[in-house]
Structure 1
Amino acid sequence: MEDILLRRAVLADAAVLPDVERSADAVFRGVPGLEWIADDAVLGVEAQRRWIRRGHVWVAEQAGRGILGFVTAQEVEDLFHIWQIAVRAEAQRAGIGRALIARVEATALAAGRSALTLTTFRALAFNEAFYAGLGFRVLRPSECRGRLAGILRAEAEHGLPAERRCAMRRDLGTPDRSRAEPHAT
């Protein structure tokens, strides 16, 4: 992680992000019932450009290797919602995903926001368990009204199995200075 640079994405990055997402999704080949995700469509270049223009995408880049991961998050109400996080298969388990979440957290705190939310798969080490390790908690169905309920409903309408999905939230407080964070711009 020592030579990883975190920065806001620029329009030229949009051409690479679909490949990063495809590589990240390869991990689903080993998940019974979800193998199809590895070959499913990813967000295209034009859609990535729209997110980048809004300033909602950060990338993790390493000299000589290019972009290894990215996160897309949006300020919504009094929080930031993480729409997508992807790390190339060969770069996973190196702290890049953790660093990208820390970047979103720092941005949310600087903007005076109170929490981070996301939706993910239940009972997967690289999804629910990963986020739980970062302080996210699974929301009960009664806590998933409005926006989050709508996101989960839309995911189900697009083929994601609702019984395997959950919404998670991490309330933010004072930044944890004990966590090392790569240089971020």
Structure 2
Amino acid sequence: MDFQGTLFAPTDDETAETSYERIQLDRGAWVDIARGWLPDPDDVFAALVNGVPWREERRQMYDRVVDVPRLLHTYLQGDPLPHPRLAEARGRLTAHYLPELGEPFVTAGCCYYRDGHDSVAWHGDRIGRGRANDTMVAIVSVGDPRRLALRPTGGGKGMSIQMGHGDLVVMGGSCQRTWEHSIPKVSSAGPRISVQFRPRNVF
């Protein structure tokens, strides 16, 4: 199934709101998808690669400590973002979703998937208010396409979205509480960076 649509289409170097594709999931969850949503994705990608203070992390996994298979950095509320298009994107997302979300997007978590071996396991953003309250997470993807997989928590029929260069996916409703998402490993892929815009106290 091809979920095409644009949330904002550039006009005279500005970004004008148009339309988006909403997919209703089970249990009160939904996903919005917008293809080619971010203007100047090549410039944004280069700025992220070269300007973000990427860090490696290690985490306890059962009886051993393992490397997290991606590089990370989080811009907290008030931190300047590494490209003006990202600040513009956060502002426009807030303006568009404020009637539904009721609050602004304030943080920007960045993940750098260097190749197909980098990934993120199944999870929901359930630390903080996302554990008990409906919220939204808006993901902007730049770089090589990667598959975002989603499945209901506890089992059931899932779905996947191929996120391309400059694409936007917004997970809303009960999605963080009742569904899980992941970026699976693949045999071959180029570098890709995701920027996850979140409201306050959602992790």
TM-score (norm: length of structure 2): 0.30
Higher strand share: 2
Higher helix share: 1
